[in-house]
Chains A and B, each alone.
Chain A
């Protein structure tokens, strides 16, 4: 008789966890997955492509219905889990149903942060997080539409790019003096800004949103410096916070997210958390790679194998509005570090590697990121570069040649 294992959340972390569990211990648990969104799990990273019309809704689905069946998983989606009773080891659904579990996995992801500014509740102010947000945006796009995207991080840029591809007039406003300041150095950010501008997106840096204005619906965004940007649509993409509401109500230990140990266990031994809702060693990750690693570790652990999650050396490795960017480690370069730089405007390529005592400690790549993971591996191995240094900035093939 297999133990009941319940997963709350039907996103990327959840799907990877279930897949791994199937590999590690198919049949050991009877798995039930609860998802609030009324769809099969999909690839959230591709929402911007969906918005841009580059893919169809079906294309971003992670796994087919048949696959879920083959895994023997019971899917309950379009239903919100309302409460957890750690003592009784049950989950309560919004329809009042009580679902018992032997093991519970929280994979509730994160929620968009809404700026605490006047007018954020006006109709026409959207976020960019899920299928519904994309649908809402698409219903309002068009050549005559003026959209303002607030937030020059990954999400905001992706939203701006997707909207621009629909022909919408897009202005991207960002509080900081450069885009994606947590993933890119100033030069790479500058290149990204030019790339966005070439795609017809107007970018305003150091733009502090004072208020959203409008009579009954969005009409403009007012900046702290007094500038007013006319807008038919505003997309707020200023960041995310872990979705830990259920855990809080259940009295589990919280930091910014649900606190977990190296086996992804919360303060309750039979309740685990993975993905963006979890906080491991003080870090809440906002990217998919750590979520996948956490899902794999947890699956091994629940399969009774030794498994430890020691955290993820954070690497950004993605296409921003069609431009590949990569960054990892200390790519800014703290005191005592040296940097090796290669820039080729003709190829639209920029690379900066940061070294400390001849060991690679950080890298930022723009335009051509094929070697990103090699650099990440070098950072993780922490070995001296030695002869590799001569051509390391040109990538593995050339660095290891001759």
Chain B
């Protein structure tokens, strides 16, 4: 008999990125982890976008925080034991709570926490420390949807299911670039369009990969979504398209809402004018909406991240309530969530304006939760929402902060000011995966190594209320621990041991489930009481399930509100009369542009994970500012230039990309780059803090800004095994590449290539270098024996391409010819450079796709047949389509 090592069977878990909540199968093999879609998961049925597919590339332990650390007087972080760290955390919260009151302390949580982690943190603060200063990065993500839902439905309920996207005949996307931000749901919508002829309408100030596939694109003026849906409501009333029966039976407040809608946008012409749209386009949308029963309106950050986000949501809900199109197959309003467990956080109540388990701060609810928890010191009122919370930190009112699994120093509005504010905290604790990020480097005093995706064990909830298990398939590295364990240990040290004495995560889930069902009797939408008594084995094997689960056998998929049953005192939905739509701050002569912010295709949040994957670094190597060509011409800038973008709150310097899809007067910049990955790319520093009065969500997509050209000087890139420190004054951005890091830079004063090469050369190493001084060209390849250690390319007038060189960089040894070709920057066979990656799944570059199109590939599928490009996650299909249309 021959013994041989078998790789363990794949572990079913959930993707840690967007709110679609795709199921994944993770295989941890000797040669690393591979991640594929779970065919049995209802969210994705086996499909996976490029970010999910590349998860295996993000799990290396380089840069991981592997043991607790405390900042010494010297300012350096020093390793300490868990006991020392936990004692220090507890001592700080006890001291400051005692001296300054519980409201001088706060937790700032994250949609990346598992539900069980969230539950434990929320319980400690709201029931035992006695403050509701528990907010979360979800405040920046979908708080306006929560507020809108609660205002309209009496509860934070997403009424529909993903299946509705398959059955709809009209899909209206508002402020959503789903093709990039929710690719798998987007593929379901496109499949519906192809198979059933469903129409897709995209409402967005800028043309995106999503609008490229749309039957109708409405490039709306920023901040006027409310006017468009007011006009729609007025039109529906005008044309007798209302569902009077549903309205009469299940809603109130229509008249006031309609009156206000008519004030805002009485006619199609008025609507078009208010929104900066063509009347014909508005009419077409209204006609389609009026005549299409199966209509889903999907909305995301374009709606939520607004000083009127809640009203925008209400304006959308109004139209669905008025037509009774809710809770039935193929119809309804649908909030697309940005994070893997924002929904779980909402269920737990991990928000300053929620108490717990979809309960608020009424005395009845406070008392109910007190009794359930046996809590000594309940929070009696709402706490501070993110922006207000950090204002309080800035003003010194909040003195103790514990940040878990998020990076506020990069993601908050006025991020530079927030960085300074955090540095002034008396007690600043951060639970993290990484050793270094902008928040850690904002003066964090205690670092706690938290378990990461692949190590964590618990549950998450996706945008369709589906609870899935995140299961571990990797051992806890170093001294990393689950967040729930860390918080419970601190609770124990604060004297609350009994209430936090869970032996395992299943016990926490059962308590959370029990609270959701506690004295519920159908009075609250969120109820998974049916899962409160599942065994450890059942928890381990838990299949993805949609809530509510009111009884153990109540596990079927379900929708809300088809027959009313809203969670208001009278059981009726509320129409809402919204405020006159508009931006909080309009552009002016000094700041003539409106700065929009958002995601790029292959990155997510602040890149602590996607930034480690070479596959994901290729599509967008550096942060860019997108501007309309006409605006660029006036500003005297062109694609490839650099520009400084300045607002009242901060400035960045980014490479310019002119894009006719940008509305004139608008700019778009990505949110992902931080001080870790770029020298001048912290876009959060520019964003204004003006927040929605109901949701507290800031208007992050509309900040007045000025643009001016910046001289690039010489430009270049460095591929290296380890991070490179560049001279002061150099602008740089960093991306993962196969075998190391790629750093692009521009040096206004020029740069000494030889000196740079010298610094990168190991002792005994050798430098192969090429110089054309008259042209400002310097190239060097640095070797340690035969091993390539680093490559430097410097040139005047534009950054040289690197994809060919990156391919060489990945190789262990180079032939003499390859060594020569490396510095030549091209392959001997003439295949110079594959160009920027378009299809990341199959690593197909622009050059090859253009060649295929030139070679007769007449549509996206033909390109797919030729190169496989666009045949997996499909998120590059719009780009390929564009290339074909523009004749490449």
Contact = CB atoms under 8 A, between A and B. Distances in A.
B821 A394 contact: yes
Given A394-B823, A398-B826, A343 B769 contact: yes
Contacts of B828: 397-398, 401
B820 interface: yes
A402 B783 contact: no
A341 B819 contact: no
Interface in A79-96: none
B121 to A, nearest CB: 56
Contacts of B831: 402
A401 B773 contact: no
B812 to A, nearest CB: 15
Nearest to A395: B820
Contacts of B827: 401-402
A189 to B, nearest CB: 19
Contacts, number: 72
Nearest to A343: B769
A390 B831 CA distance: 15
Contacts of B195: none
A339 interface: yes
A338 interface: yes
Given A397-B828, A398-B826, A345 B768 contact: yes
B832 A340 contact: no
Contacts of B772: 338, 340-341, 389, 393
A342 interface: yes
A342 B819 CA distance: 12
A342 B769 contact: yes
B766 to A, nearest CB: 5
Nearest to B833: A402
A391 B775 CA distance: 12
Interface string B757-797: 00000000011111111110000010100100000000000
A343 B821 CA distance: 14
Interface in B813-850: 816, 819-821, 823-833
Interface residues of A, number: 22
B834 to A, nearest CB: 12
A345 B766 contact: yes
Interface centre among B772, B773, B786, B821 (most CB of A within 10 A): B772
A74 B169 CA distance: 102
Contacts of A338: 772-774
A226 interface: no
Interface string B96-134: 000000000000000000000000000000000000000
A391 B766 CA distance: 21
A401 B767 contact: no
B783 A398 contact: no
A144 interface: no
Contacts of B770: 340-342, 393-394
Given A338-B774, A342-B770, A401 B820 contact: no
Contacts of A344: 766, 768-769, 781, 819-820
Interface centre among A338, A355, A390 (most CB of B within 10 A): A390
Nearest to B830: A401
Contacts of A391: 824-826
Contacts of A399: 824
A394 B824 contact: yes
Interface in A164-206: none
B773 A342 contact: no
A338 B828 CA distance: 26
Contact of B775 (A345, A389, A401, A402): A389
Interface in A346-402: 346-347, 355, 389-391, 393-395, 397-399, 401-402
Nearest to B771: A341
Contact of A402 (B773, B823, B830): B830
Interface residues of B, number: 28
A399 B820 CA distance: 11
Contact of A401 (B769, B786, B816, B829): B829
A355 B777 CA distance: 15
Given A340-B770, A342-B770, A398 B819 contact: no
Nearest to A348: B816
Interface centre among A338, A339, A342, A395 (most CB of B within 10 A): A342
A334 to B, nearest CB: 14
Nearest to B768: A344
A339 B828 CA distance: 23
Contacts of A343: 768-769
A340 B824 CA distance: 13
Contacts of A346: 766, 768, 783, 786, 819
Contacts of A398: 820-821, 824, 826, 828
B706 to A, nearest CB: 37
A389 B819 CA distance: 19
A34 to B, nearest CB: 48
A395 B824 CA distance: 9
A323 to B, nearest CB: 16
Nearest to B821: A398
B773 A339 contact: yes
A391 B823 CA distance: 8
A391 B828 CA distance: 11
Nearest to B779: A342
Interface centre among B771, B774, B824, B831 (most CB of A within 10 A): B824
Interface string A89-126: 00000000000000000000000000000000000000
Nearest to A346: B766
Interface string A117-140: 000000000000000000000000
Contacts of A397: 828
Contacts of B771: 340-342
Contacts of B824: 390-391, 394, 398-399, 401
Contacts of B786: 346
Contact of B823 (A339, A342, A355, A389): A342
B819 A402 contact: no
Contacts of A402: 826-827, 830-833
Contacts of B820: 344, 347, 394-395, 398
Nearest to A338: B774
Nearest to A358: B774
Contacts of B816: 347
Nearest to A399: B824
Contacts of B775: 389
B165 to A, nearest CB: 45
Contacts of B773: 338-339
A345 B767 contact: yes
Nearest to A397: B828
Nearest to A402: B832
A341 to B, nearest CB: 5
Interface in B280-329: none
Contacts of B774: 338, 355
Contacts of A339: 773
Interface of A: 338-347, 355, 389-391, 393-395, 397-399, 401-402
Nearest 9 interchain pairs by C-beta: A402-B832, A344-B768, A338-B774, A401-B830, A398-B824, A391-B824, A394-B824, A342-B770, A340-B772
8 contacts: A338-B772, A338-B773, A338-B774, A340-B771, A342-B769, A346-B766, A391-B825, A401-B830
Given A394-B821, A397-B828, A401-B829, 12 more contacts: A338-B774, A340-B772, A342-B769, A344-B820, A346-B766, A347-B816, A389-B775, A394-B770, A394-B820, A395-B820, A402-B826, A402-B831
